[in-house]
Amino acid sequence: ESRNGKRHCNLKVVLLGDSSVGKSSLVMRYVIGKFQTSNATIGAAFMTKTIQLNGDKEVTLEIWDTAGQERYRSLTPMYYRGTDVAIIVYDVTSPISLSHAETWIDELKSYVDTERNSSALKIILAANKADLVDGYQQPEELKKSRSENFFVVSAKSGDGIEELFDGVVGDLPDEM
Ligand code: GDP
């Protein structure tokens, strides 16, 4: 698709992870650049941010947040449908939220259209609230399976957020 003489594409990004790991805070930090403590529910299904890539490309991220529905494990198929990139979030101070990461990935894969090239689905793991743990490192058990698509972040301090979303748009397929 061409827009203002630039090649343009939309990318659907969904956030997944247990309640309270900081999904909304990460989206707000990235989209509006602030750490919001009061969690005003956003009326929209998703927020967008358009970014310029080098040369003649721009991409609009449609960032979907669960709006609290993950508490009841009741995300609708619509939430998952057409996902290009999933950010699975866990809280570095909550081992249980990390142990659930794999469950979220399984759930995601069970919903994302299998007729689409499933290899196009990108899964990123974000370790949030890094401000609460000095020198937090990627856990050993994750190093084997997912070393590249792993980011240590803090919605509070802003650390790692740009890198995380650079990772979201990194190596887009050529047709985009
Ligand atoms: P969600 O349920 O996954 O969307 O989580 P929220 O974004 O609502 O955050 C849950 C709680 O964790 C809130 O009290 C946030 O202020 C807090 N929180 C979120 N991100 C961070 C972070 O990076 N550092 C710290 N210290 N607290 C955070």
Closest by CA to 167, choosing from 112, 108, 126, 116, is: 126
Query: pLDDT band at residue 119, thresholds of 50, 70 and 90?
Result: low
For residue range 135-174, list pLDDT tens digits in order: 999 888 877 766 679 999 999 999 999 999 999 998 765 5
| 24: nearest Cα among 7, 6, 38 | 38
Amino acid symbol at 170: G
Atom 27, ligand 1: residue with shortest CA distance: 129
Measured from the Cα of 132, ligand 1's closest atom is: 26
Closest ligand 1 atom to 155 CA: 23
List all residues whose CB is within 6 A of at least one atom of ligand 1.
19-25, 37, 39, 128-129, 131-132, 154-156
The pLDDT score that the predictor gives to residue 71 is: 76
CA 1 from chain centre, in angstroms, equals 24
Residues 98-104: contacts with CB within 8 Å, 24+ apart? 98/127, 98/139, 100/17, 100/18, 101/17, 101/125, 104/16, 104/17
Residues 6 or more apart in contact with residue 119 via CB below 8 angstroms: none
Which numbered atom of ligand 1 lies nearest the CA of 36? 16
Give the integer Cα–Cα distance in Å for 16 and 64. 9
Residue range 44-60, pLDDT digits in tens = 578 999 999 887 889 99
Read off the pTM.
0.91
